[in-house]
Amino acid sequence: MDVKINPEWKEVLEQEFEKEYFKKIVAFLHREKREGKVIYPPGPLIFNAFDTTPFSKVKVVILGQDPYHGAGQAHGLSFSVPDGVAAPPSLKNIYKEIEDDLAIKVHKNGSLVSWAKQGVFLLNAVLTVRAAEPTSHGAIGWNIFTDAVIRAISERKEHVVFMLWGNYARSKKALIDKDKHLILEAAHPSPLARGAFFGCKHFSKCNSYLKEHGETPIDWSI
């Protein structure tokens, strides 16, 4: 796997790419491809979140679990799908909460590239998945890598907003310095999740925090 990643992130994560666990991830993915397995997202998009939101631009982190496993859905940004693909149920609920929270209308396109370009780092804890097999790459080592990513953001930056939705994302809270950053927790936006996502008001809380610390708020409507 040729790691195509933004130069800023490449510098931040340079040591991770040299570690044995990462070499094992690469070997595993090569083996899957040799065996004819279909992997999402396509190779050039595995690090799309990193390419679209350089390290210096990260203001918000929205953590997902693993990529969509349906054809044409995953493109390397958590909760997002490519232009022209219908918004999945979790994303529809995210849009509904934004509209209720901010009293604005949200575009109904499923792509969140516009958020990513504003500094919303859309990170999945696991960066690949086998077609039609959710969480199939959950144990190959990606969590070690993305834990290092979260720690790097926490340690090297200040005043980042982390949105942790659902128990899986909330389990990453220990990696984040709560004295330097804002951690927002809620239930997962999936219609199948238990607990309250609606009414969490994370989007207004996020923008208030960014403004308090001299950052431009996110335009969640686009």
Residue partners of 76: CB distance under 8 A and separation at least 6: 41, 45, 46, 47, 48, 49, 67, 124, 127
More confident residue, 101 or 2: 101
**pLDDT more than 70, % of the chain:** 99
pLDDT value of residue 193:
85
Per-residue pLDDT at 166: 93
Catalytic residue among 66, 83, 177, 219: 66
* pLDDT of amino acid 222: 87
Please say if the pLDDT value at position 114 is more than 90.
yes
Task: Taking the CA atoms of 143, 148, 153 and 154 in sequence, report the sign of the dihedral they define.
Answer: positive
Task: Report the distance separating Cα 49 and Cα 162, nearest Å.
Answer: 15
Lowest mean pLDDT among 9-23, 88-102, 141-155, 186-200: 186-200
Per-residue pLDDT averaged across 193-212, rounded?
A: 95
Residue 140 near residue 25 (C-beta atoms within 8 A): yes
Output the pLDDT for position 192.
Answer: 87
Cross-strand bridge partners of residue 122? 62
- Dig out the tokens for 139 from the structure: 């144990």
| Structure confidence at residue 4 (pLDDT) | 75
Is 66 noted as a catalytic residue in this protein? yes
Describe the crossing of helices 142-156 and 20-34 by its angle, rounded to 10 degrees: 140
pTM of the model: 0.97
Question: Is the pLDDT score of 1 beyond 60?
Answer: no
Average pLDDT, whole number, for the chain? 96
